[in-house]
Amino acid sequence: MADFAYIAFVLAFIVLGTLLGILAHFWRAHATIVAEDLGLGEPLNTFTRDDYQWEKHVVGAEWDDAGFWDPGSVRNLLYYMASGAFTPLLIGVALWGERAQLVTLACQSLAKLGLNSPLCF
């Protein structure tokens, strides 16, 4: 039963991470004050942005004509959604050996908050 509850909790965190990825994409596209792509060329863009090489050449991220993160790019949105989903998945796989203790801890924490999860037995 602890295995099922652990998988269900990890899936819930994957959904939450995906939603946070959508929010992060929206934030980067609409709340950035200074343009990211200053039109300086490939070598200088690497120095002015942390993940430029990864985002440009591996992810294939897109910026609009003004140099801001493209809000209408499906590729950019999927990049953030995948980042938000894979992080809890990798953590869940890494902590598989401690699943019984983690489920017990999660259920106790939820009970202290007055929430009764159907996954807690």
pLDDT digits (tens, 9 = 90+) for 30-46: 998 988 877 777 777 77
What's the farthest any 2 CA atoms get from each other in the chain? 59
Give CA–CA dist 51/29, Å, rounded: 16
Give CA–CA dist 24/80, Å, rounded: 7
Give CA–CA dist 119/103, Å, rounded: 9
Give CA–CA dist 25/68, Å, rounded: 12
pLDDT digits (tens, 9 = 90+) for 83-98: 999 999 999 999 999 9
> Domains of the chain: which residue ranges?
2-112
- Average pLDDT for 3-19: 96
